[in-house]
Amino acid sequence: MTSISFNLSGKIEKPIVDTLYLLKRIADSFGISFFVVGAFSRDLILKHGYGIEPRRKTGDIDLGVEVANWEQFEKLKESLIATGQFSPTPDKQRLRCGTILIDILPFGPITDKDKKISWPPEHEIIMSMVGFEEAYEYSITSRLSSDPELDIKMASLPGLAIMKLISWNEKYPNRKRDAEDLLFIMNKYEEAGNSERLYEEDLPLLQEERFDTKIAGTRLLGRDVAKISYPRTIQIVKDILDAETEEMSQYKLISDMIREAGMSDTRFDEILLQLEKLKQGIIEEGEKKLEKK
């Protein structure tokens, strides 16, 4: 029996439920697994799960689909379009269902040894899917509707943090919103179901951070990121954070966080500290994983 993390039935707009219900039916017919990623997953967890209002809303849905090859991916797209409810767009990964835009991002066996995909036939568009497998493996399930019954997997906040950081780094300077989303997740992680952890099993961490729950929550997020990550992913994420927090850094990530979130430069030191604590948490848990080997 699937464990339901959130029962959001009645909270999600009917067009979204209808779209995902149809998409799941088609994906299930091919034996294709998928999960919700991106800002829509963020909203499901933070807004509908914990009552935390996001700074900006999204009308798009990003999905990670686990496929073996491009033939399987194209069959899925063709079958969705054949329903008459989905229509293609100029973007290879994007479909439209009414007013809803859906980005379908393939991961899994379809990727190369570096966890990258290159879109056929030109293979000019290259995307890193680092973190997708871990985010799917540790995804959480939400019930979006009881009638019809619709249970959907979605990326957890640690999974989203990985994918947001990877996406920002790969597509800089075009993904400033990924920087904002990562900052928002760091800021709200303690409030998103982790307060009891900080005051119970992770109390020593909270004490070390002088009961600053935001900083302690960010460090806890780092630990949770490392818990779900493969060693190579941990190294990639750590390398990005090293580059963005070291003394000679251009601080591009912090600049994007400040600019996109509409903050003043006076927040620089605060955000730098948060990124350092995120990295600290990743290193702490990463070292534990290595010791267990």
Q: What is the pLDDT of residues 154-175, one digit of tens each?
A: 999 999 999 999 999 999 999 9
Predicted confidence at residue 6, as pLDDT, reads: 93
**Which string of DSSP letters, residue by residue, matches the chain?**
-PPPSEE-TTTS-HHHHHHHHHHHHHHHHTT-EEEEEHHHHHHIIIIIIH----SS---EEEEEEE-SSHHHHHHHHHHHHHTTS-EE-SSTTEEEETTEEEEEEEESTTS-TTSEEE-TTT---EEE-TTHHHHHHT-EEEEEEETTEEEEEE--HHHHHHHHHHHHHHHTTS-HHHHHHHHHHHHHTTTTTTHHHHHTTTHHHHHHTTT-HHHHHHHHHHHHHHHHS-HHHHHHHHHHHHHHHSTT---HHHHHHHHHTT--GGGHHHHHHHHHHHHHHHHHHHHHHHHH-
| pLDDT of 265 strictly over 80 | no
Which of 29-33, 44-48, 154-158 shows the lowest mean pLDDT across its residues? Answer: 44-48
* Domains of the chain listed by start with CATH number: 6-155 (3.30.460), 161-292 (no CATH)
* % pLDDT > 70, the chain: 97
Q: What is the mean pLDDT of residues 27-53?
A: 94
Written as one letter, the residue type at 56 is R
pTM of the predicted structure, to 2 decimals? 0.95
Lowest mean pLDDT among 167-171, 183-187, 234-238, 259-263: 259-263
d(CA 27, CA 49): 26
Percent of the chain with pLDDT over 90: 88
What does the mean pLDDT of the chain come to?
94
- Please report the pLDDT score of residue 266 as a whole number: 64
Segment among 97-101, 125-129, 254-258, 262-266 with least mean pLDDT:
262-266
pLDDT for residue 285 is more than 90? yes
Per-residue pLDDT, 275: 98
The pLDDT of 120-136, averaged and rounded, is 94
- Residue 242 confidence (pLDDT) above 90: yes
Q: Is the pLDDT of residue 1 over 90?
A: no
- 130 pLDDT above the threshold of 70: yes
User: Distances from the Cα of 64 to the Cαs of 26, 35, 53, 283, in angstroms?
Assistant: 15, 5, 24, 27
* Average pLDDT, integer, range 233-255: 96
Residue 264 pLDDT class (50, 70, 90 cuts): low
